[in-house]
Amino acid sequence: MIKIENVSTVGWKPAIRGARNPMNSWEKSDSLFYNLESEFIDNIVGDRLFDDPFFTSAWSYSGPAEKRDLYSWAIDAWDGIDQLSEDALIICNKNNVPAIGPNDLKLLSNLAKAGSDEAKFRRMILVYLDVTAPMYWWKEADTYKVGTVRNSCSTMHKIHAKEFTIEDFSTEHLIDITEMNSMSENRPSLIVDFSDEKHPDAKYEECPLGDLVTTIYMLNRVRDLYIKTKDKKYWWQMIQLLPSSYNQRATIMLNYEVLANMYHARKNHKLDEWREFCAWIEELPYAKELIIGEEVRDTEEQLRARFKSYEDRIRYLEEMMCKELHKAYDMSVEDISEKTDIAVSAVKYFVNGDPIHGETVIRDADTGEQGVLKYTIGGE
């Protein structure tokens, strides 16, 4: 059994801002953030974009011209002004999660796919949550120490604070006496009555669930003795007798990098608790792109908007192919050119940003005279 509640995520704005630092590309950011204190929408550098009343009353935006592109993106991203006014605040405000734009999501997804060295931004997205889980699960969860903090309910101090009940333990897989008898060919399971004045229904049933019930009975007996006498020897009985199926609650802090490691290592784990935990990870904001690693693909509409002709799209695919071969296989510019039949100068431009120098013959439409036009692609 595992229970996850009180989840919140923080750090989105500095994480996205930091991801854009290496290329100084802050102006390309298209994410929206809802400022809880000031009640307005801003971007990664804190520029005030839309006041709260805009989302509930206004139908057009007439603010500064440099912000209209972001406004247009917001309209497109949320399928029109009706959806924007209804959904944008909810999405920006939910657990302090932004509405990440397509430009930022593409960048973050590519960095995540490149591995932990490139995906440093994931360490800046923090997740706080309360987890109630059996101690056998916590033993494994505690192997993740870097970038995590855990504050647990104290077994040492509060083990005697309440009477033990069956609900305090994970028992979903324990066999009861009915199933035990159906599995036993030689003899039925033993039943022993050990009821007393305080526990009139207490009895021992010879099965795994019965063994736990008996342990709970003994835990409560020594608990009563400890409360009555304050003798520490009875406290030791509880500490050393407590089963690992005992459920413990803790508040923990994780980050998206740790969660990515957990997910890929534990998603097919033998324990139900780990599989349920990984299923919860899948529901975190933008987990598919930033943790799980699903590829972010442009829609056909986005592709048509980006590439005005099929030649533009071919050039884009050639650029992506050159970068991938260089990064994944450490291929030289010359090898990439030979394998792809793309000119060396073009590969240098795609991979290193080296400018392409060339010339082309042009003809004057009126006089018919020819001339040579020299050009440079890239560079300053």
Residues 119 and 7 in one domain: yes
CB atoms within 10 A of CB 165: 9
- Which one has a higher pLDDT value, 276 or 313? 276
Residues above pLDDT 70, as percent of the chain? 69
| pLDDT in the model for residue 116 | 86
Residues 109 and 23 in one domain: yes
Whole-angstrom distance, CA of residue 177 vs CA of residue 192: 12
| pLDDT in the model for residue 193 | 67
Q: Which domain holds residue 347?
A: 310-377
The answer to the question of residue 138 being in a domain is no
- pLDDT tens for residues 260-297? 999 999 999 999 999 999 999 999 999 999 999 865 55
Q: If you average pLDDT over residues 246-270, what whole number do you get?
A: 95
Residues 12 and 36 in one domain: yes
- pLDDT tens for residues 323-375? 888 877 778 888 888 888 888 888 888 887 777 665 655 666 667 677 655 54
Q: What are phi and psi of 164, to 5 degrees?
A: -75, 140
User: pTM score > 0.85 for this model?
Assistant: no
Residues 86 and 9 in one domain: yes
| pLDDT in the model for residue 315 | 78
Average pLDDT, the chain: 79
- pLDDT tens for residues 2-50? 999 999 999 999 999 999 999 999 988 888 886 666 666 677 877 766 5
The answer to the question of residue 92 being in a domain is yes
Instruction: Output b/e per residue, 35-57; b: 16+ Cβ within 10 A.
Output: beeeebbbbbeeeebbeeebbee
**Most confident option among 52-61, 139-148, 173-182:** 139-148
Helix axis angle, 310-329 relative to 344-352, nearest 10°? Answer: 70
Q: Is the model's pLDDT at 71 over the cut of 50? A: no
> What's the total number of domains in the chain?
3
Residues 17 and 124 in one domain: yes
Q: If you average pLDDT over residues 307-336, what whole number do you get?
A: 79
Residues 179 and 236 in one domain: yes
Residues 322 and 364 in one domain: yes
Residues 208 and 176 in one domain: yes
- Which one has a higher pLDDT value, 93 or 15? 15
Residues 101 and 211 in one domain: no
Whole-angstrom distance, CA of residue 156 vs CA of residue 160: 9
First to last CA, the chain: 61
